[in-house]
Each structure stands twice: as structure tokens, then as C-alpha cells.
């Protein structure tokens, strides 16, 4: 048996007719940039979040970059986030010229440890970016409290957490602004790069929308900011509108796959992802933790299972950031050697999961891989 890490083509086939119709309608309309699909997607995604204003942009990275820029954050400012994330979170901070300050994670959820936040805040801190990593929400109340004390905004990185709940609240509606990615592999994925900024602050969202469109104001060819070109295009917006309708169902299937892994792997010497009692995890990734991670990874690969590591090198150890950080991040350094992401996409079958679990059990019992 082969179990791919993810199967985006199969996901497309489930909605092939509706996606094809949406794409054809855009092509036939002759309107490819900033048309009705982008406006409708912004409206629909905002309603799905429970009533936020939304600016669609061309990636999750640009969503973070543009919101920082809209807030006037730049050189000399510090922005606090984590090292254990997709490098994009930190790249966006670097792109506005601000200084990223990295805090360690809680080993149980792999998310920012709010208990360590105080030690990372200085008079120069201008924002905190908690990352709801793997689909599990950050413990937001202490983060909001620390930010409020200093009068600085919290910008949620929701790139992996569409639909996750923190104490019953949708992530993306808790901080001053939230950034989403619709990269193809994300829980809501386009057929290319896409992202969005959401906020209850209409003015902030309007500024992001303007910055993403050359800095143009209300009137065409009248520029109020030195912006860039970071628009979402109509084709991607049309596809996202179709996929948004299926998002809650897909999240339910991710959660069902996670529940099945918990049954199948119960009692084995491998730590399964924790879901805090106040959290609704959306399992963008199903990340387990085990001592001989590299051994298990190799065993699964030889058995035809597409397991992965998210992420093998934390930001503070990336060559691109050599000599940039001197903070000690022991939990981050320990986690990266032990984490393994198991295939848990919405279309995975119970038979595939049984096979994966059987291979993990065989490895933990010290057997050679079968079916290679």
C-alpha cells in the first residue's frame, strides 16, 4: 500500500465540476484582476469568520508583511513571535525591516509559551505574532493581556488554523488583526498562492487592500501610499469560494482522521498531538513525537508512507538568519529532532490509516518494514 502525505489532485476531483465551472466563468468574463470574485470571497470569508472585514492578498507571507506595514511597523521596531513556525512568519517581519524576537514553545502544543513572553518584551516591542501552529490555537488570554499592558497589537498567524477555536472563539477574530494563507496545502487552499488579512478594524483592512494594490486610494490612478502589487486574482478567488463552502466538512474529516489515529496508536510509545480542553484543533498537521524520529521516518518512507517533518530547522538555526539570534530556545531545539507529521488529509481512508498505524507499531516493536 502507498499512503501519500497529501493528495491535492484527489481533493480537486471531489469538487471537479464546481471548480471547473467557476474557473470557466472567470475566463469567459474577461475580468481577471480585482473583479466580483475577489469582492465576494472577501465578503464570504469575513462572514464565515463571524463578521470580520477581509482584504484578500496574494500570499500568507504578504498578509503578515502588509498588516505590519499598515500598522507603521518598521526599522528599529521589535516584533515577537516563535522560531518553531514556517519561516514565512519571520520573513514578513524582516521584510518590513523590523527585528524579529523569538520566544520558545510549550512542548505539549508546540505553540508559543505565553509564560515566556514577558522576558522577550522591551520598550521597542511593537507587535506580538502568535502562530496557531499545526491547527492548535495559542493560549491567547495571557498574550492579549501582555500586549494590552504595553498598548501593542496582537497579530494572529492563522495560516494553519482556519476554523480552530480558542475558548469558543474563532481564531482570526481574537487579536487586532489576523493573517491567513490559502497556499494549496493549507486547510483552505487555492490552486496557487493566496492569502488574506482579517480584522474588525475596517480602516486597517482598507489600508492593507490599498497597499496590496499599488497604494491606490478610492480613486483609480490616485496613489496615497507607496504600495505594491500583491492582489489576489479572480481565478484563485473563484476557486476559494467553491472550497470555502466545503471547508467545515473538510475540517470534520481532519478531526475524524485524528480521532482514528488516536484509537489506532493508543498505548504505543509515541506522543500524539494534545488538544487542550479549551481548544478545537483543526489538524492542519497531525504531529506526533518520538525519540527515534529519524528511524521512524525512514521506516515509513520505505513502507510507502509519506510522513514529513514540520519543520526540521527552526528559524533561529537557518543559514539565512545566521548570527541574527542569541536567545536560547531549548524546547524548540528539542522538538525539531522528535516531531513527525503523519498523513492526515481529509480524503485519507481508514484502511490507509490502519496501514500507517501498523507500520508505526511494527517499527516501535523493532521490526523491518513490510511491503517495501
- For binding to ligand PLP (CB under 6 A), which residues are involved? 59-61, 85-86, 88-89, 131, 157, 159-160, 181, 183, 193, 195
Q: State the nearest-atom distance from the C-beta of 180 to ligand PLP, in Å.
A: 8
Whose CA is closest to 83, among 313, 285, 280?
Answer: 313
- Give the residue with the Cβ less far from ligand PLP, 157 or 234: 157
In whole angstroms, the minimum distance from the beta carbon of 92 to ligand PLP comes to 7
Residue closest to ligand PLP when measured from CB atoms:
60
Question: What is the separation, in whole angstroms, between the first and last Cα of the chain?
Answer: 9
Cβ-based nearer residue to ligand PLP, 87 or 264:
87
**Which distant-in-sequence residues (6+ apart) come within 8 Å of 138 by Cβ?**
109, 111, 112, 114, 130, 131, 132, 156, 166
- Nearest distance from C-beta of residue 192 to ligand PLP, angstroms: 10
CB of 127 to ligand PLP, least distance (A): 15
**Pick from 127, 64, 119: which is nearest to 90 by CA?**
64
How many angstroms separate the most distant Cα atoms in the chain?
68
**Cβ(325)–Cβ(102) below 8 Å:** yes
Backbone angles phi, psi at 20, to 5 degrees: -60, -40
In the complex with ligand PLP, the residue whose CB is nearer, 175 or 195, is 195
In the complex, what is the shortest distance from the CB of residue 260 to ligand PLP, in angstroms, rounded to a whole number?
Answer: 24
Coarse DSSP helix, strand, coil percentages of the chain, rounded to the nearest 5 percent: 40, 15, 40
Q: Which is nearer to ligand PLP, 60 or 153 (CB)?
A: 60
Task: Return the sign of the alpha-carbon dihedral for residues 10, 12, 17, 20.
Answer: negative
Closest Cα partner for 135 from 283, 347, 317?
Answer: 283
Could you tell me the CA-to-CA distances from 15 to 187, 230, 269, 343 in Å, in that order?
15, 27, 39, 21
**Smallest separation (angstroms) from ligand PLP to the CB of 44:** 19
Residue 85 or 352: which CB sits closer to ligand PLP? 85
Q: Which is nearer to ligand PLP, 159 or 279 (CB)?
A: 159
Nearer CB in complex with ligand PLP: 131/154: 131
Give the shortest CB-111-to-ligand PLP separation in angstroms: 11
Amino acid at each position: 500500500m502507498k499512503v501519500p502525505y497529501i493528495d491535492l489532485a484527489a481533493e480537486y476531483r471531489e469538487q471537479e465540476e464546481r471548480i471547473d465551472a467557476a474557473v470557466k466563468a472567470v475566463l469567459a468574463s474577461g475580468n481577471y484582476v480585482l473583479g466580483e470574485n475577489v469582492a465576494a470571497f472577501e465578503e464570504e470569508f469575513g462572514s464565515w469568520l463571524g463578521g470580520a472585514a477581509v482584504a484578500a492578498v496574494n500570499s500568507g507571507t504578504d498578509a503578515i508583511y502588509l498588516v505590519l506595514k499598515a500598522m507603521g511597523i518598521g526599522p528599529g521596531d521589535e516584533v515577537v513571535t516563535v522560531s518553531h513556525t514556517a519561516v514565512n512568519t519571520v520573513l514578513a517581519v524582516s521584510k518590513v525591516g523590523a527585528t524579529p524576537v523569538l520566544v520558545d514553545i510549550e512542548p505539549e502544543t508546540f505553540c508559543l509559551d505565553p509564560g515566556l513572553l514577558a522576558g522577550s518584551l522591551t520598550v521597542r516591542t511593537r507587535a506580538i505574532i502568535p502562530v496557531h501552529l499545526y491547527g492548535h490555537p495559542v493560549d491567547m488570554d495571557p498574550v492579549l493581556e501582555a500586549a494590552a499592558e504595553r498598548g501593542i497589537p496582537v497579530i494572529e498567524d492563522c495560516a494553519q488554523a482556519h476554523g480552530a477555536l480558542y475558548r469558543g472563539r474563532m481564531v482570526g477574530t481574537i487579536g487586532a488583526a489576523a493573517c491567513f494563507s490559502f497556499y494549496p496545502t493549507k486547510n483552505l487552499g487555492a490552486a496557487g498562492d493566496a492569502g488574506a488579512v482579517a480584522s474588525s478594524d475596517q480602516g486597517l483592512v482598507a489600508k492593507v487592500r490599498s497597499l496590496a494594490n499599488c497604494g491606490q486610494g478610492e480613486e483609480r490612478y490616485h496613489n496615497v501610499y507607496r504600495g505594491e502589487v500583491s492582489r489576489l486574482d479572480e481565478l484563485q478567488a473563484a476557486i476559494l469560494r467553491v472550497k470555502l463552502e466545503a471547508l467545515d466538512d473538510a475540517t470534520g474529516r481532519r478531526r475524524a482522521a485524528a480521532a482514528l489515529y488516536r484509537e489506532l496508536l493508543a498505548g504505543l510509545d509515541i506522543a500524539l498531538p494534545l488538544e487542550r480542553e479549551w481548544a478545537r484543533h483543526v489538524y492542519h498537521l497531525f504531529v506526533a513525537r518520538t525519540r527515534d524520529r529519524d528511524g521512524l521516518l525512514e521506516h515509513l518512507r520505505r513502507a510507502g508512507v509519506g510522513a514529513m517533518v514540520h519543520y526540521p530547522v527552526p528559524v533561529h538555526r537557518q543559514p539565512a538568519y545566521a548570527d541574527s539570534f542569541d536567545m536560547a530556545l531549548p524546547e524548540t531545539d528539542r522538538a525539531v529532532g522528535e516531531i513527525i507529521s503523519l498523513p492526515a488529509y481529509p480524503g485519507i481512508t481508514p484502511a490507509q490509516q490502519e496501514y500507517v498505524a501498523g507500520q508505526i507499531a511494527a517499527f516501535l516493536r523493532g521490526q523491518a518494514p513490510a511491503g517495501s
